[in-house]
């Protein structure tokens, strides 16, 4: 079969994506049932770690639960400027990342190591992204929509794409040897 590699890639990609996505949706629905109108644990951790980064950099920044929706408020210099919702926690990006590297996998050990390093990198970039978006929203509120909808998603998806390219090139080089 001429397209066997492409079909195998697609099957592995979609199977991984559906399994990980399904597990994540189960986690979210369980959280919603157990803790209605509260953000999930991962989203809370992202908010807290964003605050830790801002505090480390010397900013007066804090977070608190939003009582109106399942999110965390981010308060910079006493002003509520941003919120961290479930979509901000990078889990959907991480699921997509893992689906690709598993679909385009080499040896399991290498895939696992690269996946873990890549996941930690994406997670840290996401924390930095949220902090910078908070800072930019505070100082340039007129550009919030553009920054939030165009620039900052581009940063995290662009970084993920770069990791995919590193992964593919690494596997290609190994095949050539």
Q: List, for residues 14-27, the tens digit of each pLDDT value.
A: 999 999 999 999 99
pLDDT of residue 29: 94
Show Cβ contacts of residue 161 under 8 Å, excluding neighbours closer than 6 positions: none
Percent of the chain with pLDDT over 70: 98
Task: Check pLDDT > 70 for residue 177.
Answer: no
Which two tokens mark 76?
């910079």
| Mean pLDDT, the chain, whole residue set | 93
Q: What are phi and psi of 59, to 5 degrees?
A: -95, 150
Q: What is the pTM of this model?
A: 0.92
Among the listed residues 117, 128, 115, 176, the one whose alpha carbon sits nearest the alpha carbon of residue 156:
128
Cross-sheet strand order for the sheet of 71-76: 61-66, 71-76, 79-84
pLDDT of residue 173: 77
Q: List, for residues 69-113, the tens digit of each pLDDT value.
A: 999 999 999 999 999 999 999 999 999 999 999 998 878 999 999
């Amino acid at each position: 079969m001429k397209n066997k590699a492409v079909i195998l890639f697609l099957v592995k990609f979609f199977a991984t994506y559906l399994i990980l996505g399904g597990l994540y949706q189960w986690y979210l629905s369980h959280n919603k049932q157990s803790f209605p109108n509260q953000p999930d644990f991962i989203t809370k951790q992202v908010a807290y770690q964003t605050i830790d980064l801002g505090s480390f950099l010397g900013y007066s920044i804090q977070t608190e639960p939003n009582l109106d929706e399942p999110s965390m408020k981010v308060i910079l210099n006493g002003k509520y400027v941003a919120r961290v919702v479930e979509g901000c926690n990078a889990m959907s990006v991480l699921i997509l990342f893992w689906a690709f590297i598993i679909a385009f996998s080499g040896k399991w050990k290498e895939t696992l190591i690269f996946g873990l390093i890549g996941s930690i990198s994406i997670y840290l970039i996401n924390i930095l992204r949220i902090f910078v978006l908070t800072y930019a929203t505070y100082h340039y509120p007129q550009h919030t929509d553009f920054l939030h909808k165009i620039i900052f998603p581009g940063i995290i998806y662009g970084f993920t794409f770069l990791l995919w390219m590193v992964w593919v090139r690494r596997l290609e080089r190994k095949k050539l040897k």
